[in-house]
Amino acid sequence: MKKLYLFLFASFSSVSVGQAQQPVRESQGFYQFLTEDPNQKPFYSDRQGVIANNGMVASAHPDASQVGVDILKKGGNAVDAAVAVQFALAVVHPSAGNIGGGGFMVFRDASGKSYTLDFREMAPRRSHKDMYLDKQGNPVPGLSTLGHLASGVPGSVDGMAAAHARFGKLPWRDLIQPAIDLAERGVVQTEREARGLNNIRESMQKVNPGGSYFLRPDGREWKAGDTLVQEDLARVLRLIQKKGRDGFYKGKVARMLASEMKRGGGLITTKDLKAYQSKWREPIIGTYKNYKVITMPPTSSGGVALMQLLRLVEPYPITRWGWNADSTTQVMIEAERRVYADRAKFLGDPDFVDVPVDKLISYEYLRERWKSFSFAQATDSREVSGGAIAGYESLETTHFSVVDKDQNAVAITTTLNGGYGSRVVVQGGGFFMNNEMDDFSIKPGVPNMFGLIGNKANAIEPGKRMLSSMTPTILEKDGKLYMVVGTPGGSTIITAVYQTILNVVEHGMTMQQAVNALKFHHQWLPDKTTFEQGAFADNTIRKLQNRGYTLEMQRNSIGRMDCILVRPDGSLEGGSDPRGDNVSMGY
Would you say 330 or 435 has its CB closer to ligand DON? Answer: 435
Would you say 95 or 512 has its CB closer to ligand DON? Answer: 95
- Say how far apart CA 352 and CA 279 lie, in whole Å: 14
Strands 114-119 and 102-108: antiparallel
Quick check: 145 binds ligand DON (CB under 6 A)?
A: no
Would you say 222 or 440 has its CB closer to ligand DON? Answer: 440
Quick check: 433 binds ligand DON (CB under 6 A)?
A: no
* Chain centre distance of CA 155: 16
Look up 35 and say whether it is catalytic.
Answer: no
Would you say 155 or 489 has its CB closer to ligand DON? Answer: 489
**What is the C-alpha radius of gyration for the chain, rounded to an integer number of angstroms?**
23
Would you say 375 or 392 has its CB closer to ligand DON? Answer: 392
By rule CB under 6 A, what string of x and - marks binding of each residue 377-396 to ligand DON? Answer: ------------------xx
Quick check: 415 binds ligand DON (CB under 6 A)?
A: yes
For the bound state, the minimum distance from the C-beta of residue 8 to ligand DON, rounded and expressed in Å, comes to 37
For the bound state, the minimum distance from the C-beta of residue 558 to ligand DON, rounded and expressed in Å, comes to 10
Footprint (CB under 6 A) of ligand DON, residues 467-526 = 468-470, 488-490, 493
Residue 213 CB burial class (10 angstroms; 0-12, 13-18, ≥19): middle
Quick check: 299 binds ligand DON (CB under 6 A)?
A: no
Q: In terms of Cα–Cα distance, which of 407, 539, 556 is closest to 20?
A: 539
Strands 551-554 and 529-532: parallel
Residue pair 92/148 in contact by the 8 Å Cβ criterion: no
Angle at 435 between CA 468 and CA 308, to 5 degrees: 10
Question: Which residue from 114, 156, 269, 397 is in contact with ligand DON, where contact means CB under 6 A?
Answer: 397
Residue 376, phi then psi, degrees to nearest 5: -70, -30
Strands 529-532 and 284-288: unpaired
Footprint (CB under 6 A) of ligand DON, residues 335-364 = none
By rule CB under 6 A, what string of x and - marks binding of each residue 456-475 to ligand DON? Answer: ------------xxx-----
* Segments in 228-301 forming alpha helices (H): 231-243, 246-249, 251-263, 270-275
Q: In terms of Cα–Cα distance, which of 433, 434, 418, 415 is closest to 487?
A: 415
Quick check: 89 binds ligand DON (CB under 6 A)?
A: no
Would you say 194 or 437 has its CB closer to ligand DON? Answer: 437
DSSP tag of 371: G
Angle at 233 between CA 202 and CA 424, to 5 degrees: 30
Quick check: 439 binds ligand DON (CB under 6 A)?
A: yes
For the bound state, the minimum distance from the C-beta of residue 545 to ligand DON, rounded and expressed in Å, comes to 29
Q: In terms of Cα–Cα distance, which of 314, 304, 406 is closest to 359?
A: 304
Q: In terms of Cα–Cα distance, which of 517, 516, 511 is closest to 573?
A: 511
Footprint (CB under 6 A) of ligand DON, residues 20-79 = none
Type of residue found at 319: T
Residue pair 379/372 in contact by the 8 Å Cβ criterion: yes
Choice among 145, 269, 299, 397 that is catalytic: 397
Would you say 178 or 488 has its CB closer to ligand DON? Answer: 488
Q: Is the peptide bond before 283 cis (omega within 30 degrees of 0)?
A: no
Would you say 102 or 286 has its CB closer to ligand DON? Answer: 102
Residues found in the chain: 587
- Say how far apart CA 196 and CA 217 lie, in whole Å: 17
How many residues lie near ligand DON (CB under 6 A)?
14
**Orientation angle between helical segments 156-167 and 172-185, nearest 10 degrees:** 140
Question: Which residue from 156, 417, 458, 495 is in contact with ligand DON, where contact means CB under 6 A?
Answer: 417
For the bound state, the minimum distance from the C-beta of residue 487 to ligand DON, rounded and expressed in Å, comes to 8
- Say how far apart CA 63 and CA 400 lie, in whole Å: 13
Question: Would you tell me which residues interact with ligand DON (CB under 6 A)?
Answer: 395-397, 415, 417, 436, 439, 468-470, 488-490, 493
Active-site residues: which are they? 397
